[in-house]
Chain A
């Protein structure tokens, strides 16, 4: 075990911080500190391209696809400095963190050529078509159908059905879709993983308003939507394997950058508590101390996970990560409101133009739901991690 970063790492950290701070003080100062995922989408697409132009877009990718082949330590450092500098979240995070790595791992050479440079360059924004109204926690029960058909001498996939909770679909160019391609198949069998261009008559997008007034996610309807026969990743019927492989990427490096964001949020709560006197309340003091401990638990836990080189062996520990951060942040939202007191109830600007902390409270209500609810996480930890008997699951 070797804790801490080397001198070379620290030099790299300074380089990241210099560049990011320079951008946030210069050309892109108008987007600094934005926390809403839907704010200023056009400027943030330009920001994606600016990152790419300076090769900061996806530093962990191989150099041939626009990355720097950066070590894990450097990826972590960049993610930390990114959050520390107050840079808004990546509008193409699905492309960079999920679609790209999936194509790298499972795609053909032609697909890599077609997609990776444009994802890295911020020219192709991806969204994720997994959940359906009837397939949330029970993701394997997707009903969106795909069939191969010959159209004007060319084979095409024809897709019909509905996806839901497709984050940022309204500003995306492409969507990957888990669809049922084998008639009569059930559960994880008979699914196919397709990549589809969104701008076509067969795809319609409708926003869903959230409890905090934002509309980050959407319903996405497919009515004879089309894509070429070679738009699938893997083979027909391998969709579940690809989807599960993709979800494993969600536990990747981005989790550490996320922690720097958490650090910023906790620091803001501490500052607010000092400013309004809540910090003299012993109960608030204890909860702040607990939040601090919880953040460090996550940090060391994630560093341990990411230190493993053989990723097939880390599943047991990695499974515990989502429930830990989601529960921690949900409690952080409650702490923020207790620190603010009634001041947290009132927004200065227009309706639902909340300050960071009230918005944190509302937004963190969703943390324990998306990406697998706490209940699903506990099932995974118990069944996959501890090898306990599975819950009865209908006739799947």
Chain B
């Protein structure tokens, strides 16, 4: 054999031997359009910290099948056009497999691009019912129940606590607020609950005196607020309690951070709501992952942090399963891997093992505000929406 042919054979052999090592060192890049400024910054900062912390835990333990995670993100100011710019910038400069988006508008806008690329699976802060449709949004998911499922969880709890109760919904006149109203009507009917009143308020309104009068006249046993972070919930609760109303007040995920509820003051005592995750300080059951978070941060971590953390867990689990199956990290394989998750242990972040059938994690629990201890305490067992 000629020398040149020997050299070719040797080089080829070396290439084969070195290829797995090179592949093992290839990073898995995860991108994010994160609202570090703007109206949603309170959540964005927490989400970012949750994502970063879990990726660090995974990298410190050797990565995913030997491949380290590199997390790249851009601030969006919670503006969809800036979020898209961040997506273009990050995907243009990196080979991204997984992505975190910051809003429903972004999820919807970027969806055709995700379908066109076919290489990225995305999760995000949006819990909009619309996104929980694997046919329309095949490359996306959310690390919690969508808004309709959250309303379903609240109504199931109400029906169990007080059958045939009178329920009311107060929602903001926005896409966010209107999202679960139909589900509220249908589920109330299905569970034998009576809809006392539906009240719509202008987004950001503070003076709600006329709406309070309307609510007081309807005299519901339970009042659900949706489409707000905080205002005008305290105004409603305070004025209703002053007028002697015995209604129980409830909220959905974005209202339910401990620090937000505690801002309601005395009036907020007993305020309930649906939470997909265990609170940072909830030690009512064994939760090794929460213990890890407490070790990392001795101070309270908010609920968006937990959402970011669980999203990171699901990203990593999907990537791990895809790589174990020997498949490339593209949207189709990653989503199939995500949907293969059955009875997954979240390390106590969620009190029951989770199964992801569609685009959501349809689990939640009712927590109640205890103003004496300044904590949210469990008011129900974990409720899984089938």
Do A and B actually bind? no
Chain B residues in contact with chain A, CB under 8 A? none
Chain A residues in contact with chain B, CB under 8 A? none
